[in-house]
Amino acid sequence: MTFSVSIGCVGGYGDVALGADIGPGMDLVLTAQQMAQAHKGGVPAVAKLMGVSANTLQHKLNPERSTHHLTMVECLQLGMVTGNANVLRAMAKQMGYTLHRATPDQSGGDPVEAFMRFQSNVGDFTCAAADALLDGTGVVTPNAQRRVEFRGQELLAATAHLISTTAARVPKREG
């Protein structure tokens, strides 16, 4: 009998609202609307932070309107003020890409710390993949796939941090 156990940690998968529900073909306007509505204070608070009229923003976020649209700059502002990248995620997914956050290196340049964080992420990724694949049914659920994708992205970031940390320790060549 084989099994794996996953232990969640603070700041891990699932701590960002709505991110897991964006699928291929999801309307970008609907995604933007959900982002604004989910933000504390809703559309009026987001409009104030963006420096625009709440009424105008509400019209631009209405998926039923064909005459009012968010500009690219407004989409960026919406993401910045809400701290939510779901419009980017939806765009990437519709174009066949994935999006991952560029997490700052948490090792402080310490190669042992960077290596430890890398190994920890290898374990988290292994657990996520095992949980998804070893359930006995042969079917991977959408939530399990999202968890594997999230843990894979975290592993990529940890790998990049470890590479950067070791590269910083290579002596500079003169001349």
Q: For the chain, which ranges sit under pLDDT 50?
A: 4-25
pLDDT for residue 20: 44
Which residue range(s) make up the domain with 31?
A: 23-94
Same-domain check for residues 163 and 132: yes
Same-domain check for residues 90 and 133: no
Residue 101 located in a structural domain: no
pLDDT for residue 49: 96
Same-domain check for residues 89 and 31: yes
Same-domain check for residues 90 and 126: no
**Tokens standing for 152?**
């894979």
- Split into its structural domains, the chain has a count of 2
pLDDT for residue 98: 77
Q: What span, in angstroms and rounded, lies between the C-alpha atoms of 166 and 164?
A: 6
Secondary element (H or E) of residue 27: none
Same-domain check for residues 86 and 123: no
pLDDT for residue 8: 43
Give residues with Cβ within 8 angstroms of 93, minimum separation 6. 22, 23, 24, 26, 99
pLDDT for residue 6: 42
Tell me the CATH number at 87: 1.10.260
Number of H helices, E strands in the chain: 7, 0
